[in-house]
Amino acid sequence: MGAGIAHVAAAAGHRVIIFDQDKGVAERAIAGIAARLERSVERGRIDEELANQTNRNLTAAASINDLSECRLVIEAIVENLGIKRLVLGEIEKMVSNDAILATNTSSLSVTAIAAELERPEQCVGMHFFNPAPVMRLVEIVHGAVTDSEVAATAFETAQAWGKTAVHTKSSPGFIVNRVARPYYGEALRLLSEGAANVVTLDAVYTECGAWRMGPFSLLDLIGLDVNLDVSKSVFDATFNDPRFAPSFVQQSLVDAGHLGRKTGRGFYEYGPDAVEPEPATAPDHGLDKEVVVHGDPGPLGALVDRWSMRGISITHVAGDGLISVGDIQLRLTDGRPATELVDVGLAPPNTAVIDWVHDWVTTSRVCIAAASTCSRSSLGTLVGALQAAGFRVTVIEDTPGLVVARTLSTLASVAGDTVLHGIASVDAIDTAMRLGTNYPSGPLQWAARIGFGRVVEVLDHLVAAYGEERYRASLWLRRASQGERLTRRFAP
């Protein structure tokens, strides 16, 4: 990470001095940067003059005292509060009073790091994402006493380096590592409850939800131990908020030494003999029943359009927004399992619920769950109808909120609280999640498109199902939902 940040700064035209306490590390970092620059020139990504100038801007420090003339010092050392305090304290004594001391911490409190400095107002977080030369996001983290001009300078510097910077207050996980926790947490809970297996859940996340990587593939890439440490850190720092609770499934794999790609085994097997597993996909069924749309289908209107575009005959009748194919009803999930809808008399025995998707036009897979009372033949009829619309169909266990709906709702709730508590703005959160984690949309932007009211409804039904504060809806989301209702009421 340190070498990556040095690369970015040097490429932007700054003279950069690299120091590492271990002899030879700084020199190897510079050699590594030179090798990457050479490959970039060979591939036509940069010109030779930029590569040469970047190399000329890099110097290895013989001792930490060589940093005395630096106006910006960025530490990218071990995630240990005591060590960071010690190192920044040493540097503070040798640099000018107006020098900025930046920490690249991903999870520690910037306020706590700065607390023992003589000039804590000069300390700010500049959280880069790995690999720093490639990833566009930098979180500018304000400690409790960080001077506003210091934060503004760090922000403008990151922007000048070609990055997209966002402001955030120092809080557990900042933006990305805080808001992203439910992406892993809900996937791990779905796995532990037997909703589906690892590869099937990953396929639903990537093909239905359009996330770049499924949570289990991503955990294996990050390292299960690294991710678990961040989860524990955020959980502890939020005084055991259940929304951030670590998973026993993940802990068990870490205890066994199955840490992901780096050990050859995590949620998946790696190596030359590893067999790539296939997600659960329903076998082909023909469409031999009429598709009937009852009233305004709402978000499922795009599904109806897909049938129409493929020449499927559709009958429209009055009703409450559901779809039926033969004797089975299909509803967009509101967080309640299909079986519960049947039990409380809101749906007939042959009922299924369908998960949310990021984009009904482009999605290649849909995820459904059927009530325990649903017949296999009726479910097959529905599967055939969805396949006729051009989808691969995954049937999972009848679990509250299915996969995408419950995950997006919990992401949006944590994001909403992040706004509510003044940690970051809506735009900063959505930008950070798109650029820092490659989300297809920012969680609040996506929730707005789905409808904040629907998101709150899913969360309330998850609370009813589990009886846990883990699924509480953010007050910010509730207010946004009320705003939606007022807008509809007074719209011209």
Out of 92, 139, 207, 340, the active site residue is 139
* 177, 324, 409, 413: the active-site residue: 177
Of 100, 148, 89, 154, the closest CA to residue 128 belongs to 154
Are the C-beta atoms of residues 481 and 452 closer than 8 Å to each other? yes
371: region left, alpha or beta (phi > 0 left; psi from -120 to 50 alpha): beta
CA 214 → CA 41, 275, 415, 450, 486, distances in Å? 33, 18, 20, 21, 37
- From CA 384, how far away is CA 367, in angstroms rounded? 13
Q: Of 104, 106, 231, 481, which one is the catalytic site residue?
A: 106
- Rounded to whole angstroms, how far apart are CA atoms 379 and 369? 9
What residues pair up with 127 in beta bridges, in sequence order? Answer: 139
State the alpha helices, DSSP H only, in 95-197.
110-114, 148-160, 176-179, 181-192
CA angle, 142 as apex, 136 and 145 as ends, to 5°?
Answer: 160
In this structure, are strands 323-325 and 291-294 parallel, antiparallel, or unpaired?
A: antiparallel
* Whether 177 is catalytic: yes
> Catalytic residue at 106?
yes
Closest alpha carbon to 408 in 320, 299, 267, 330: 299
> Cα 139–13–51 angle (5° rounding)?
105
Residues composing the chain? 492
Dmax over CA atoms of the chain, in Å, equals: 79
Count CB-CB contacts under 10 A for residue 366. 26
| Residue 139 annotated among the catalytic residues of the structure | yes
Active-site hit among 14, 127, 258, 461: 127
Whether the CB-CB separation of 264 and 287 falls below 8 Å is answered with no
**Strand pairing class (58-60; 323-325):** unpaired
Tell me the catalytic residues: 106, 127, 139, 177
